Amino acid sequence: MHVPDGFLDAPTSVATGVVAAAAVGVALVKARKELDDRTAPMAGLVAAFVFAVQMLNFPVGAGTSGHLMGGALAAVLVGPWTGLLCLSVVFIVQCLLFADGGITALGTNITLMGITTVAVGWLVFKGLQLVMPKRLSLTAIQAGIGAFVSVPVASLLFVLLYAAGGTADIPLDTLATAMVGVHVLIGIGEGIITFLAVGAILAVRPDLVYGARPILARRELEIRSTATKTTGASA
């Protein structure tokens, strides 16, 4: 759900625009470290993937369905800076070519659904990776938890922005309860789907998952020569 024009007042829109521009500027420099000269084609294709996956509807039941926002997913799959670039590009293209989300709210949309979900998703993922055992099978769970946390946090930030530049005086506690309540539910969906998708990718190409690389690097080459150990558990 994109914030349209006129939802927040002009100063707030401009301020979030400045925040978004600064974050994208930093991401442009940092993403080169994640992808070197592959940045343009890789980030472009991943952005197209994020756009497509947002069109994939997950039925909730009773005829309603939701879709992935993909911030935490992109961060875990391609790294936080590249992920942030991809999401920002998706929002710019949705705004300019698909009229989804207002142009004055572009900075707000990038700040809320790009920067916040990527940063929170990635930090939670990284934090869990530090404290939990270094096992590849846990990576998908950590990604799922990161995705789950990122959605209510983004909605809470929206409430704060609304408090600063909102256009109607809704009691803030009501708004916060409603927004966070709804987004905890949305976050559960986002978390489960991110968990399942990352798990599916880890099963096929674990080397593509940026967040799993530190764990893959810890693996040592095992050579099992004796025929008696054929049933040994693989890592």
Partner 1 sequence: MGAGHGHTLHFHGHSPVHRAPAHLKVLALLGFMLVVVATPRDWYAAFAVYLAALIVVVGVSRVPPTYLLKRTVVEVPFVLFAVLLPFVATGPQTEVLGVSVSQHGLEAGIALLVKGTLGVLASLTLAATTEPQDLLVGLERLRLPQQLVQIMAFMVRYLDVVTDEMRRMKVARESRGFSARNPRHWPVLARSAGALFIRSYERGERVHLAMLSRGYTGRMPR
User: Does residue number 93 form part of the binding site for partner 1 (CB under 8 A)?
Assistant: yes
Taking the complex as a whole, the smallest distance from the CB of residue 136 to partner 1 amounts, in Å, to 15
User: Does residue number 69 form part of the binding site for partner 1 (CB under 8 A)?
Assistant: no
Q: How many H-runs (helices) and E-runs (strands) does the chain carry? A: 9, 2
Q: Which of residues 21-40 bind partner 1 (CB under 8 A)?
A: 24-25, 28, 37-40
Give first-to-last CA distance, the chain, whole Å. 41
Which residue's CB is nearer to partner 1, number 173 or number 222? 173
d(CA 181, CA 162): 17
d(CA 66, CA 73): 16
Query: Which residue among 20, 23, 95, 112 contacts partner 1 (CB under 8 A)?
Result: 95
- Report the relative pairing of strands 64-67 and 57-61 from DSSP bridges: antiparallel
Taking the complex as a whole, the smallest distance from the CB of residue 215 to partner 1 amounts, in Å, to 18
Query: Which residue among 18, 22, 26, 99 contacts partner 1 (CB under 8 A)?
Result: 99
User: Does residue number 19 form part of the binding site for partner 1 (CB under 8 A)?
Assistant: no
User: Does residue number 112 form part of the binding site for partner 1 (CB under 8 A)?
Assistant: no
Query: Which residue among 71, 83, 102, 146 contacts partner 1 (CB under 8 A)?
Result: 102
Taking the complex as a whole, the smallest distance from the CB of residue 35 to partner 1 amounts, in Å, to 9
Query: Which residue among 97, 131, 221, 227 contacts partner 1 (CB under 8 A)?
Result: 97
* Sole window of 119-127, 146-154, 199-207, 219-227 interacting with partner 1 (rule: CB under 8 A): 199-207
Angstrom distances, CA of residue 164 to CA of 4, 23, 95, 106, 171: 17, 21, 23, 17, 13
DSSP string, 133-145: ---HHHHHHHHHH
User: Does residue number 164 form part of the binding site for partner 1 (CB under 8 A)?
Assistant: no
Which residue's CB is nearer to partner 1, number 41 or number 232? 41
d(CA 114, CA 86): 9
Q: Which long-range contacts (CB under 8 A, 24 or more apart) does 156-160 make?
A: 156/180, 157/111, 157/112, 157/116, 158/3, 158/112
Q: Are 13 and 101 in contact (CB under 8 A)?
A: no
Compute how many residues bind partner 1; rule: CB under 8 A. Answer: 73
SS3 content of the chain, % helix, strand, coil (to 5): 75, 5, 20
Query: Which residue among 131, 133, 174, 233 contacts partner 1 (CB under 8 A)?
Result: 174
Q: Which of residues 39-58 bind partner 1 (CB under 8 A)?
A: 39-49, 51-53, 55-58
User: Does residue number 173 form part of the binding site for partner 1 (CB under 8 A)?
Assistant: no
User: Does residue number 169 form part of the binding site for partner 1 (CB under 8 A)?
Assistant: yes
